[in-house]
Amino acid sequence: MTDEKMPLEPPPAYDENQKPASPAPPRPRMPLPLDLPALNMIRGKRVILASASPRRRQLLAQIGLTNLEIIPSTAPEDRDKNLPPFAYVLETAEQKARNVYEATINDKEGEPALVIAADTVVSSHFGQILEKPKNEREHFATLKMLRDQNNGWHKVYTAVVCMAPLESLMDPGYAMETHVEETLVKFDEDVTDDLIMSYVRTREGADKAGGYGIQGLGSILVEKINGTFDNVVGLPLRATLQLIEKVITEPGVPNEVENAL
Protein backbone atom coordinates (compact mmCIF):
# COMPACT_ATOMS: atom_id res chain seq x y z
CA MET A 1 0.00 0.00 0.00
CA THR A 2 1.54 3.32 -1.03
CA ASP A 3 1.60 6.27 1.29
CA GLU A 4 -0.72 9.06 0.24
CA LYS A 5 0.07 12.55 1.41
CA MET A 6 -2.76 14.75 2.56
CA PRO A 7 -3.03 17.98 0.55
CA LEU A 8 -1.62 20.92 2.49
CA GLU A 9 -3.39 24.22 3.04
CA PRO A 10 -1.67 27.14 1.27
CA PRO A 11 0.62 29.14 3.56
CA PRO A 12 -0.85 32.33 5.03
CA ALA A 13 -0.24 35.46 2.99
CA TYR A 14 1.29 38.57 4.52
CA ASP A 15 -0.84 40.73 2.29
CA GLU A 16 -4.57 40.33 2.90
CA ASN A 17 -5.20 41.03 -0.79
CA GLN A 18 -3.09 38.02 -1.76
CA LYS A 19 -5.14 35.52 0.23
CA PRO A 20 -6.41 32.76 -2.02
CA ALA A 21 -10.15 32.65 -2.26
CA SER A 22 -11.56 29.72 -0.34
CA PRO A 23 -14.94 28.20 -1.10
CA ALA A 24 -17.72 28.97 1.35
CA PRO A 25 -18.37 26.10 3.75
CA PRO A 26 -21.51 24.15 2.97
CA ARG A 27 -24.53 25.14 5.02
CA PRO A 28 -25.61 22.44 7.46
CA ARG A 29 -28.75 20.62 6.41
CA MET A 30 -31.60 20.91 8.85
CA PRO A 31 -32.92 17.52 10.05
CA LEU A 32 -36.28 16.39 8.79
CA PRO A 33 -39.15 16.68 11.29
CA LEU A 34 -40.04 13.67 13.43
CA ASP A 35 -42.60 11.53 11.64
CA LEU A 36 -44.77 10.54 14.60
CA PRO A 37 -48.58 10.15 14.60
CA ALA A 38 -49.16 12.54 17.51
CA LEU A 39 -46.98 15.29 16.03
CA ASN A 40 -48.52 14.81 12.59
CA MET A 41 -52.01 15.12 14.10
CA ILE A 42 -51.27 18.56 15.59
CA ARG A 43 -49.12 19.89 12.76
CA GLY A 44 -50.68 23.08 11.41
CA LYS A 45 -53.11 23.26 14.34
CA ARG A 46 -53.20 25.57 17.31
CA VAL A 47 -50.55 24.57 19.86
CA ILE A 48 -50.06 26.82 22.88
CA LEU A 49 -47.08 27.02 25.21
CA ALA A 50 -48.31 28.40 28.53
CA SER A 51 -44.90 29.86 29.34
CA ALA A 52 -42.80 32.85 28.33
CA SER A 53 -39.56 30.89 28.76
CA PRO A 54 -37.44 31.12 25.58
CA ARG A 55 -35.57 28.00 26.74
CA ARG A 56 -38.74 25.88 26.72
CA ARG A 57 -39.65 27.25 23.31
CA GLN A 58 -36.20 26.31 21.95
CA LEU A 59 -36.45 22.80 23.36
CA LEU A 60 -39.88 22.22 21.82
CA ALA A 61 -38.54 23.44 18.47
CA GLN A 62 -36.15 20.49 18.54
CA ILE A 63 -39.08 18.08 18.14
CA GLY A 64 -40.64 20.19 15.41
CA LEU A 65 -43.03 22.37 17.42
CA THR A 66 -41.88 25.66 15.96
CA ASN A 67 -45.20 27.39 15.27
CA LEU A 68 -46.22 27.83 18.89
CA GLU A 69 -48.50 30.44 20.40
CA ILE A 70 -46.91 31.83 23.53
CA ILE A 71 -49.62 32.60 26.09
CA PRO A 72 -48.25 32.69 29.65
CA SER A 73 -50.62 31.89 32.49
CA THR A 74 -52.07 34.82 34.40
CA ALA A 75 -52.94 32.72 37.46
CA PRO A 76 -51.06 33.71 40.62
CA GLU A 77 -48.38 31.17 41.59
CA ASP A 78 -49.48 31.04 45.20
CA ARG A 79 -49.16 27.37 46.09
CA ASP A 80 -47.99 26.61 49.62
CA LYS A 81 -44.17 26.55 49.69
CA ASN A 82 -44.39 24.01 52.51
CA LEU A 83 -45.56 21.40 50.01
CA PRO A 84 -42.95 18.85 48.91
CA PRO A 85 -41.21 20.22 45.78
CA PHE A 86 -42.61 17.33 43.69
CA ALA A 87 -46.19 18.26 44.59
CA TYR A 88 -45.57 22.02 44.41
CA VAL A 89 -44.36 22.02 40.79
CA LEU A 90 -47.12 19.64 39.72
CA GLU A 91 -49.92 21.74 41.24
CA THR A 92 -48.41 24.93 39.79
CA ALA A 93 -48.03 23.48 36.28
CA GLU A 94 -51.60 22.10 36.36
CA GLN A 95 -52.88 25.53 37.41
CA LYS A 96 -51.00 27.18 34.51
CA ALA A 97 -52.37 24.68 31.99
CA ARG A 98 -55.98 25.02 33.14
CA ASN A 99 -55.74 28.81 33.25
CA VAL A 100 -54.55 29.10 29.66
CA TYR A 101 -56.82 26.34 28.35
CA GLU A 102 -59.92 27.92 29.86
CA ALA A 103 -58.89 31.37 28.60
CA THR A 104 -58.43 30.19 25.00
CA ILE A 105 -60.95 27.41 24.41
CA ASN A 106 -63.69 29.78 23.25
CA ASP A 107 -61.69 32.67 21.77
CA LYS A 108 -61.78 33.76 18.12
CA GLU A 109 -58.70 31.75 17.12
CA GLY A 110 -60.56 28.53 17.88
CA GLU A 111 -60.08 25.70 20.32
CA PRO A 112 -56.41 24.77 20.91
CA ALA A 113 -55.33 21.32 19.81
CA LEU A 114 -52.76 21.19 22.60
CA VAL A 115 -51.70 23.26 25.61
CA ILE A 116 -48.29 22.63 27.18
CA ALA A 117 -47.45 24.06 30.59
CA ALA A 118 -44.44 23.56 32.84
CA ASP A 119 -42.99 24.71 36.13
CA THR A 120 -39.45 24.34 37.43
CA VAL A 121 -38.07 24.75 40.94
CA VAL A 122 -34.73 24.10 42.56
CA SER A 123 -34.83 22.39 45.94
CA SER A 124 -32.15 22.71 48.58
CA HIS A 125 -30.83 19.67 50.45
CA PHE A 126 -33.42 20.33 53.18
CA GLY A 127 -36.34 20.57 50.74
CA GLN A 128 -36.56 24.37 50.60
CA ILE A 129 -38.15 25.48 47.32
CA LEU A 130 -35.98 28.03 45.52
CA GLU A 131 -37.52 29.99 42.67
CA LYS A 132 -36.30 33.12 40.89
CA PRO A 133 -34.17 35.44 43.08
CA LYS A 134 -35.79 38.73 44.01
CA ASN A 135 -32.61 40.82 44.21
CA GLU A 136 -28.81 40.61 44.04
CA ARG A 137 -28.38 39.90 47.73
CA GLU A 138 -30.84 36.99 47.65
CA HIS A 139 -29.29 35.73 44.42
CA PHE A 140 -25.81 35.54 45.96
CA ALA A 141 -27.11 33.91 49.16
CA THR A 142 -29.02 31.27 47.18
CA LEU A 143 -26.04 30.21 45.08
CA LYS A 144 -23.75 30.21 48.12
CA MET A 145 -26.19 27.96 49.97
CA LEU A 146 -26.40 25.55 47.03
CA ARG A 147 -22.61 25.32 47.03
CA ASP A 148 -22.27 24.80 50.77
CA GLN A 149 -25.12 22.40 51.61
CA ASN A 150 -24.77 18.64 51.20
CA ASN A 151 -21.39 18.85 49.42
CA GLY A 152 -22.98 20.96 46.69
CA TRP A 153 -25.80 18.53 45.81
CA HIS A 154 -29.34 19.79 45.26
CA LYS A 155 -32.38 18.82 43.18
CA VAL A 156 -34.20 20.34 40.21
CA TYR A 157 -37.85 19.45 39.61
CA THR A 158 -39.84 20.23 36.48
CA ALA A 159 -43.52 19.37 36.11
CA VAL A 160 -44.98 19.19 32.60
CA VAL A 161 -48.71 19.21 31.86
CA CYS A 162 -50.30 18.60 28.44
CA MET A 163 -53.98 19.25 27.78
CA ALA A 164 -56.06 18.53 24.68
CA PRO A 165 -59.82 18.68 24.00
CA LEU A 166 -61.80 15.45 23.84
CA GLU A 167 -63.99 14.78 20.83
CA SER A 168 -66.56 13.14 23.09
CA LEU A 169 -68.71 15.00 25.61
CA MET A 170 -67.01 13.16 28.47
CA ASP A 171 -66.58 15.41 31.51
CA PRO A 172 -64.48 17.58 31.93
CA GLY A 173 -64.15 17.89 28.14
CA TYR A 174 -60.39 17.61 27.93
CA ALA A 175 -57.63 15.07 28.43
CA MET A 176 -54.73 15.96 30.71
CA GLU A 177 -51.42 14.14 31.23
CA THR A 178 -48.73 15.06 33.74
CA HIS A 179 -45.14 14.21 34.55
CA VAL A 180 -42.59 15.37 37.14
CA GLU A 181 -38.88 14.94 36.44
CA GLU A 182 -36.13 15.09 39.07
CA THR A 183 -32.44 15.77 38.37
CA LEU A 184 -29.62 15.92 40.91
CA VAL A 185 -27.11 18.73 40.41
CA LYS A 186 -23.77 19.13 42.19
CA PHE A 187 -22.10 22.52 42.48
CA ASP A 188 -18.30 22.57 42.58
CA GLU A 189 -17.39 23.09 46.25
CA ASP A 190 -14.25 24.97 45.20
CA VAL A 191 -16.26 27.74 43.52
CA THR A 192 -15.28 30.93 45.36
CA ASP A 193 -17.53 33.65 46.72
CA ASP A 194 -15.90 36.05 44.24
CA LEU A 195 -16.86 33.81 41.32
CA ILE A 196 -20.42 33.48 42.60
CA MET A 197 -20.77 37.26 42.92
CA SER A 198 -19.22 37.77 39.51
CA TYR A 199 -21.77 35.36 38.06
CA VAL A 200 -24.64 37.06 39.92
CA ARG A 201 -23.64 40.41 38.39
CA THR A 202 -23.92 38.99 34.86
CA ARG A 203 -27.69 38.75 35.57
CA GLU A 204 -27.89 35.53 33.55
CA GLY A 205 -29.58 33.71 36.43
CA ALA A 206 -31.88 36.54 37.52
CA ASP A 207 -34.91 35.06 35.73
CA LYS A 208 -34.22 31.40 36.48
CA ALA A 209 -35.32 29.08 39.27
CA GLY A 210 -32.45 28.65 41.69
CA GLY A 211 -30.59 31.59 40.18
CA TYR A 212 -28.46 29.88 37.53
CA GLY A 213 -28.66 28.70 33.93
CA ILE A 214 -26.84 25.42 33.39
CA GLN A 215 -27.06 25.82 29.61
CA GLY A 216 -25.12 29.09 29.74
CA LEU A 217 -22.43 30.68 31.86
CA GLY A 218 -23.95 29.04 34.95
CA SER A 219 -22.25 25.81 33.90
CA ILE A 220 -19.06 27.13 35.54
CA LEU A 221 -20.72 26.52 38.92
CA VAL A 222 -21.71 22.91 38.18
CA GLU A 223 -19.42 19.93 38.68
CA LYS A 224 -21.81 17.20 37.51
CA ILE A 225 -25.44 16.14 37.26
CA ASN A 226 -27.35 12.90 37.76
CA GLY A 227 -30.38 12.86 35.48
CA THR A 228 -31.56 14.68 32.38
CA PHE A 229 -29.80 17.89 31.40
CA ASP A 230 -32.80 19.50 29.67
CA ASN A 231 -34.82 19.08 32.87
CA VAL A 232 -32.43 21.51 34.55
CA VAL A 233 -32.82 23.86 31.58
CA GLY A 234 -36.59 23.84 32.19
CA LEU A 235 -38.29 21.11 30.14
CA PRO A 236 -37.55 17.35 30.06
CA LEU A 237 -38.00 16.88 26.34
CA ARG A 238 -38.26 13.08 26.19
CA ALA A 239 -40.98 13.03 28.86
CA THR A 240 -42.79 15.95 27.20
CA LEU A 241 -42.94 14.11 23.88
CA GLN A 242 -44.34 11.04 25.67
CA LEU A 243 -47.07 13.19 27.25
CA ILE A 244 -47.97 14.72 23.88
CA GLU A 245 -48.26 11.26 22.34
CA LYS A 246 -50.42 10.06 25.22
CA VAL A 247 -52.78 13.04 25.36
CA ILE A 248 -53.21 13.21 21.58
CA THR A 249 -53.40 9.52 20.61
CA GLU A 250 -54.51 7.85 23.87
CA PRO A 251 -56.77 10.35 25.69
CA GLY A 252 -58.44 9.07 28.79
CA VAL A 253 -55.82 6.48 29.76
CA PRO A 254 -54.97 6.95 33.47
CA ASN A 255 -51.63 8.63 34.18
CA GLU A 256 -49.24 6.88 36.56
CA VAL A 257 -47.98 10.10 38.15
CA GLU A 258 -51.50 11.28 39.01
CA ASN A 259 -52.40 7.87 40.41
CA ALA A 260 -49.26 7.83 42.53
CA LEU A 261 -50.34 11.05 44.16
| Distances from the Cα of 123 to the Cα of 11, 42, 88, 190, 211, angstroms | 56, 35, 11, 21, 12
Give 248: exposed, middle or buried? Use CB within 10 Å, 0-12, 13-18, 19+. buried
Residue 99 near residue 73, CB atoms below 8 Å = yes
Q: % helix / strand / coil in the chain, to the nearest 5?
A: 35, 20, 45
Give 253: exposed, middle or buried? Use CB within 10 Å, 0-12, 13-18, 19+. exposed
Is 119 an active-site residue? yes
Residue 146 near residue 154, CB atoms below 8 Å = yes
Residue 118 near residue 159, CB atoms below 8 Å = yes
Instruction: For residue 29, give the 3-state DSSP assignment.
Output: coil
Which one is catalytic: 3, 80, 119, 207?
119
Active site residues: 119
